[in-house]
């Protein structure tokens, strides 16, 4: 009994942790699922019902006008108009109806509704109706409001609209041209710096480490204008265009370098000292140690920072507009989609489709490198050189 009780004591906390993680994942995934489903619905369904009704059908409120009084047929003392509320419409199944826009579900289908003044109206589920009155009809056909159940319907037109819009293809290429070098350059430089700060003895090393940590908290917005001014002055001196990919690569590298050096330095400093000392005894230089030992062992940390840096540069809009420009041939994907949304107004179907087009490449990068993420971030978090 004591062994069983011990197992229960050990297993229960683990079960609670697993359930908590599962609940958090579900909470995070539900909004994403909602955006994905909404991106495949048309504007009418989005306006009429929530995304959770997309797979079961939605109830939409629509208006219809009954037949013209001239079509009425006399049956004794009663005048009757028959027809269908879906004539010229898209069809569906009527759930309820009413004569006021504020109460479209006032009357049940299939039952005669007393409208007063000797008028009765029966609307069936298939949309057929019988409208009767104990006196001749006058004026225009009566307007009714319907609660109509529409079957599940999905479309790719939203994505077609976004992808075929002018400049989206070029903007996609621009984003890749910005994000890939702006991810590789800071990693390459930071890896050399992290090795030097971890395993090479030189004066001022501790001061440089403290400076790197301090630079992590410098806001991008505060340093953007001075950096742009410095870049323009250097560009004018060497004849480099003020709007070029070189400028945005350098800017992203400068903003990402402190965090890259900090993460990589923590990881590299935690590698076994015996391996590096053995390589030095065998006559290996620092460069050979770095290329043949440090880089292969540091791949988890390199992959971890690659995810962060790529996501940041891919989703960036501010730095791209400042250093690259806002012309049609210069806009990155986030800028082009922002302009598209501005011209499309408040169309949610375009907004959600644009969101998923924007995140498709980061999702591929994340899932390709995610197994290294936690290992790279935590490996060196309790050790330091």
Q: Taking a C-beta distance cutoff of 8 angstroms, is the pair 44, 132 a contact? A: no
pLDDT of residue 9: 55
Give the tens place of pLDDT for each residue, 317-353. 888 888 887 777 788 888 888 777 666 656 778 878 8
| Conformation bin of residue 123: beta by default, left when phi > 0, alpha when psi is -120 to 50 | beta
pLDDT of residue 244: 79
Q: Taking a C-beta distance cutoff of 8 angstroms, is the pair 333, 340 a contact? A: no
Full-model pTM? 0.66
Q: Taking a C-beta distance cutoff of 8 angstroms, is the pair 329, 170 a contact? A: yes
Q: Mean pLDDT across the stretch 297-314? A: 87
Q: Are strands 119-123 and 128-133 parallel, antiparallel or unpaired?
A: antiparallel
Q: What is the DSSP letter of 9?
A: H
Count Cβ atoms within 10 A of the Cβ of residue 284 and give its class: 0-12 exposed, 13-18 middle, 19 or more buried.
middle
pLDDT of residue 326: 77
Give the tens place of pLDDT for each residue, 10-55. 566 788 888 888 999 899 889 888 888 888 888 777 776 778 888 8
Greater pLDDT, 68 or 241: 68
Q: Taking a C-beta distance cutoff of 8 angstroms, is the pair 253, 227 a contact? A: no
pLDDT of residue 166: 60
Buried b (16+ CB within 10 A) or exposed e, 14-50: eeeeeeeeeeeeeeeeeeeeebebbbbbeeebbebbe
pLDDT of residue 383: 45
- How many angstroms separate the CA atoms of 383 and 267, rounded? 8
- How many angstroms separate the CA atoms of 260 and 216, rounded? 9
Banded pLDDT at 7 (limits 50, 70, 90): very low
Q: Which residues contact 166 (CB under 8 A, 6 or more apart)?
A: 328
- How many angstroms separate the CA atoms of 320 and 175, rounded? 9
All structural domains of the chain with their residue ranges? 2-53, 58-150, 160-378
Give the tens place of pLDDT for each residue, 218-230. 887 778 788 878 8
Q: Mean pLDDT across the stretch 81-97? A: 80
Greater pLDDT, 77 or 313: 313
**Which 3 state secondary structure label does DSSP give 178?**
helix
Phi, psi (rounded to 5 degrees) for 127: 100, -10
120 beta partners? 114, 132
- DSSP assignments along 334-370, one per residue: HHHHHHHHHHH-S-HHHHHHHHHHHHHHHHHHHHHHG
Give the tens place of pLDDT for each residue, 174-205. 899 999 999 999 999 999 999 999 888 888 88
Residue 266 has pLDDT above 80, yes or no: yes
Closest by CA to 193, choosing from 259, 251, 287, 265, is 265
CATH superfamily, domain at 160-378: MetI-like (1.10.3720.10)
């Amino acid at each position: 009994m004591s062994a069983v009780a011990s197992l229960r004591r050990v297993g229960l906390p683990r079960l609670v942790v697993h359930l908590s993680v599962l609940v958090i994942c579900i909470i995070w995934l539900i909004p994403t699922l909602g955006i994905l489903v909404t991106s495949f619905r048309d504007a009418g369904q989005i306006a009429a019902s929530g995304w959770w009704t997309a797979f079961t059908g939605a109830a939409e409120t629509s208006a219809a006008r009954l037949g013209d009084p001239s079509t009425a047929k006399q049956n004794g003392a009663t005048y009757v108009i028959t027809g269908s509320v879906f004539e010229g419409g898209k069809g569906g199944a009527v759930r309820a109806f009413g004569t006021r826009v504020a109460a479209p579900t006032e009357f049940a289908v299939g039952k005669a509704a007393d409208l007063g003044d000797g008028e009765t109206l029966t609307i069936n589920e298939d949309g057929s109706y019988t409208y009767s009155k104990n006196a001749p009809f006058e004026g225009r056909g009566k307007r009714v409001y319907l609660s109509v159940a529409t079957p599940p319907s999905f479309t790719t037109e939203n994505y077609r609209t976004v992808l075929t819009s002018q400049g989206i293809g070029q903007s996609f290429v621009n984003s890749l041209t910005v994000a890939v070098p702006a991810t590789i350059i800071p990693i390459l430089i930071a890896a050399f710096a992290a090795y030097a700060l971890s395993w090479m003895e030189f004066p001022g090393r501790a001061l440089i480490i403290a400076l790197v940590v301090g630079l992590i908290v410098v806001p991008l917005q505060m340093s953007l204008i001075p950096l742009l001014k410095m870049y323009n002055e250097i560009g004018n001196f060497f004849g480099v265009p003020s709007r070029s990919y070189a400028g945005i690569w350098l800017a992203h590298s400068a903003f990402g370098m402190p965090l890259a050096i900090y993460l990589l330095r923590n990881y590299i400093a935690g590698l076994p000292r015996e391996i590096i000392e053995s390589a030095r005894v065998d006559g290996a230089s620092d460069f050979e140690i770095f290329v043949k030992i440090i880089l292969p062992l540091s791949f988890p940390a390199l992959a971890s920072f690659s995810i962060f840096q790529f996501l940041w540069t891919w989703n960036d809009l501010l730095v791209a507009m400042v250093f690259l420009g806002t012309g049609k041939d210069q806009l990155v994907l986030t800028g082009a989609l922002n302009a598209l949304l501005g011209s499309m107004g408040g169309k949610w179907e375009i907004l959600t489709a644009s969101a998923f087009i924007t995140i498709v490449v980061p999702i591929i990068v994340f899932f390709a490198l995610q197994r290294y993420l936690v290992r790279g971030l935590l490996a060196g978090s309790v050790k330091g050189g």
